[in-house]
Amino acid sequence: MLIQPQILSLITTHRCTAACDHCCFTCHPGREEAVPVPNLHNYIEQAAEIASMKAVVFTGGECFLLGKHLDELVLTATRNKLRTRFVSNGYWASTPRVAAARLRRMADNGLGEANFSTGDMHAKYVKPAFVINGAVAAAEMGLPALIMVETFSTSQFSFDEFIGDSRLKPLVEAGKIAIKMSPWMQFQGKTSLVYTPAYLKEIDPQRSTGCGTLMNVLAVNPSEDLIACCGLTLEEIEELHLGSLKTRTIKQILRETPDDFIKIWIHLVGPDSVIAYALSLDPTIEVPPNLAHICASCRFMYNHPRIVEVISATPPPFKDDLVRQYAMSLFRPVSEDDLRAGVKMAMRGCNVDDIKTMRKMTLEPA
């Protein structure tokens, strides 16, 4: 497979302290699926054997349920010269002191970045103040910190109160903590999720820049499948699953997986481009009007009975140009900015009023 992955995302478990409505993996406290800890160490070491690999992300479910094993996994990555990042709901950051003590152990082992999630769904299970405790502790240790706030048109999350917190606001304005709003996606939940026309229009241009995770990031799920993307819909797209790590190594799977032009196309231009081309061949394809998240477009594209079929029958005339463009991109050196893609905002100051304006754009008028 023509690929030079930069990040290994370890979905360590489907167990979580929360049970968020529309969780992409339907995680909750009662689920037990998890990658055995010795295997997690093994996959980090396998990733380090790939020259292009630069970082490891620990996620879930809730990766902090690993306890001290998470600290040891960070150390394994550091010893193998790989940067590290976690994605967490922050349940463990109950006080500023507890948060700082917990992160200090990881920072001492080489932790590179901290990512947190909050919003309407998460806040039912984890107080937003815990997320603030964790992000502030990370920033005060010099770790780039990102908080992802889920959003949809009927969100009731007290965003202005959250971002106006006396500890959080100055660190956001100083560029030490980044705030990112992301559309909360429809999965198997009960809440109706829609997005305002203004928000859809605002984020639409970003969709034509391609998918930065497909083939750049390899994921390992609790079933120990190697997956060509860490996107939210990875468990609903069979074509992204490359093979089982129970029988082969990461290198073996990549070496034995054939190239896939559609993956290259999505990587470079995004799934909306693929859908648009399919529509030009078959105008009867009906595209849902509410695809706010790029992963939702990818899920729709792969699971529609006609899209891949018509493209396979009539490949686009620019196919060779895209393959050539992708091949040339593999020779581009990986920069620090590439590795810090999730926290680029944290490298510069961020106007809180601008963030509030964007937030208002995502909500239905009162």
Across 275-285, average pLDDT: 97
Residue identified by tokens 């976690």 is 86
Neighbours of 3 (CB within 10 A): 21
Q: For residue range 287-303, list pLDDT tens digits in order.
A: 998 899 999 999 999 99
Which pLDDT value is given to residue 346?
43
Q: For residue range 336-362, list pLDDT tens digits in order.
A: 555 454 444 444 556 898 899 989 999
Distance of alpha carbon 335 from the chain centroid: 19
Cα 123 from Cα 121, distance rounded (Å): 6
- What is the DSSP annotation of 130-196? HHHHHHHHHHHTT--EEEEEEE-TT----HHHHHT-TTHHHHHHTTSEEEEEEEPPPSS-SS-----
Q: For residue range 24-74, list pLDDT tens digits in order.
A: 999 999 999 999 999 999 999 999 999 999 999 999 999 999 999 999 999
Cα 309 from Cα 267, distance rounded (Å): 19
Q: How far is CA 82 from CA 16, 112, 195, 221, 320, in A?
A: 26, 9, 38, 20, 34
Mean pLDDT of the chain: 93
Which pLDDT value is given to residue 338?
53
Across 199-221, average pLDDT: 89
Q: Which of 175, 167, 99 is nearest to 138 (CA)?
A: 99
Asked whether 168 and 160 are in contact (CB, 8 A), the reply is no
Region(s) of the chain under CATH 3.20.20.70: 7-257+336-358
| Portion of the chain with pLDDT greater than 90, in percent | 87
Across 173-177, average pLDDT: 94
Cα 73 from Cα 51, distance rounded (Å): 20
Where are the alpha helices (H) located in the chain, listed in sequence order? Answer: 37-48, 68-79, 96-108, 120-123, 128-140, 159-163, 168-173, 197-203, 250-256, 261-269, 271-281, 294-303, 307-313, 319-329, 336-339, 352-361
Which pLDDT value is given to residue 192?
93
DSSP E strand boundaries for 195-305: 217-220, 225-227, 241-244
Asked whether 244 and 250 are in contact (CB, 8 A), the reply is no
Token representation of residue 337: 């900015």
| Portion of the chain with pLDDT greater than 70, in percent | 95
Confidence bin at 329 (pLDDT 50/70/90): confident
Q: For residue range 113-166, list pLDDT tens digits in order.
A: 999 999 999 999 999 999 999 999 999 999 999 999 999 999 999 999 999 999
Which pLDDT value is given to residue 202?
87
Strand, coil or helix: what is 27? coil
Cα 335 from Cα 13, distance rounded (Å): 30
Q: What DSSP state is assigned to residue 35? A: -
Which pLDDT value is given to residue 290?
85
Q: Which residues pair with 114 in a beta bridge?
A: 86, 145
**Directed axis angle between helix 68-79 and helix 37-48, to 10°?**
20
Residue identified by tokens 């396979």 is 312
Confidence bin at 207 (pLDDT 50/70/90): confident
CATH classification for the domain delimited by 7-257+336-358, as one of 3.50.50.60, 3.20.20.70, 3.40.50.2300, 3.40.50.720: 3.20.20.70
Confidence bin at 274 (pLDDT 50/70/90): very high
Token representation of residue 55: 């970082």
